[in-house]
Amino acid sequence: MEYLNLSKLPGQQSMLVFHALARMGFEGLVTVSPQIPLVSVGYFQDAGKEVDLDYCRSSGLPVMRREVGGGATYLDENQVFYQLIWKKGNPRFPRKISDIFEGLSKPVCDTYREFGISARFRPENDIVTDDERKIAGEGGGDIGDSLVFVGGILMDFDYQTMCRVLRVPDEKFRDKIHKSMEENLTTMKRELGYMPPRDEVTRALVDNFERRFGKLEPAPLSKEVIDKMAELERLFTSDEFLHKKTPRIPRGVKIREGVEILYSTYKARGGLIRTAQEVENGVIKDIGISGDFQFYPKSELAMVEEELRKTKRKDRVILSKIEDFYNKRKIESPGVEPENITEAIMAAKQS
């Protein structure tokens, strides 16, 4: 396996690189930080509902959707991102998504411990300190014929900007988010009283991944990869891709007697689930499902939506369909069970 030490990359390249490498059959580890701050939106999220896009535009903050799950987040140079990429079927890696997250989090936890911070993996995709404060969030998924596992070492974090880029119903709610984030999210600087040198953190991280996978051979960032990143940047920052999960009607409304657009938000153990449903005479005519959860294979979420069309809006009927779909397609969505999706759908109340 190979290792790309990319230090800091401009623009969205720090996130585009693993998307490009996965498509090109690369197997190995990348460490990188963004030279310029940006906002990254999870694949299953509705960008317009999660992020204040107007604020980001006026502040010159680029926004891109990534092809792995997880939530919207603010990225800057004080975070060291680790991106592990491998081909499907590689026997050196676990098969189950849940095993991947726990197993590949160990080198990261060991890195924190080397700097005197006791950290451990907490299902479904967080690394936390002894007092349960999150100190790293992780994501993963399938890209073409490859699988990816990504996360970030938090050397420091800009809580204020993170809270500002999120879309919230009012400023009081934003204040609550800021307070909760400061209480529940920590950093190396906060834990140690200083921010360790980036090179030392990166070296420790690579050493710990090498203990897991053996020697990683240094590799350059080739022109072919750079060209592929430029190609993907045009797609990932396009309005079409950024807004692909956005419902066409901005709020729940009654279209006519018997026809309604319903919305719901439901918190499962594995993340937030949002639904947008067009219901006609008690039957789901159309449905969109989004959120910050993990779902593998990612392309199958659209098939869940297709499966639920023309379904009676009864919890037992919906649950049966989703359970059958999970079993037939061998779906993995850590912390999000068929029961959770059913409850999210039924949480939208008809008038």
- Show the domains of the chain with their CATH numbers: 2-242 (3.30.930.10), 253-346 (3.30.390.50)
Give the model's pLDDT for residue 253.
52
Give the model's pLDDT for residue 246.
46
Whether the per-residue pLDDT at 109 is higher than 90: the answer is yes
- β-pair type (146-154, 119-122): unpaired
Asked if 168 contacts 160 with a C-beta cutoff of 8 angstroms, the reply is no
Enumerate the β-bridge partners of residue 87: 146
Establish how many alpha carbons lie within 13 A of residue 127's alpha carbon, considering only the half-sphere containing its beta carbon.
29
Give the model's pLDDT for residue 256.
62
Give the model's pLDDT for residue 251.
45
Q: Determine whether 223 is exposed, middle or buried from the number of CB atoms within 10 Å of its CB (0-12, 13-18, 19+).
A: exposed
Give the model's pLDDT for residue 247.
45
pLDDT band for 173, please (50, 70, 90 cuts).
confident
83-100 mean pLDDT? 92
Enumerate the β-bridge partners of residue 33: 8
pTM confidence score: 0.85
Whether the per-residue pLDDT at 338 is higher than 90: the answer is yes
Nearest to 52 by CA among 155, 232, 177, 182: 177
Asked if 200 contacts 112 with a C-beta cutoff of 8 angstroms, the reply is no
Asked if 110 contacts 42 with a C-beta cutoff of 8 angstroms, the reply is no
Give the model's pLDDT for residue 110.
98
Within the chain, residue ranges assigned H as helices are 13-23, 47-50, 53-59, 97-114, 159-165, 171-184, 188-192, 198-213, 223-236, 239-242, 300-308, 315-329, 338-346
The answer to which of 78-82, 191-195, 217-221, 244-248 has the lowest mean pLDDT is 244-248
Whether the per-residue pLDDT at 250 is higher than 60: the answer is no
DSSP-assigned states of every residue in 235-285: HHTSHHHHTTT--SSSS-EEEETTEEEEEEEEEETTEEEEEEEEEETTEEE
293-321 mean pLDDT? 96
pLDDT in tens, 35-88: 999 999 988 888 988 899 999 999 999 999 999 888 899 999 999 999 999 999
pLDDT band for 254, please (50, 70, 90 cuts).
low
pLDDT band for 245, please (50, 70, 90 cuts).
low
End-to-end CA distance of the chain: 57
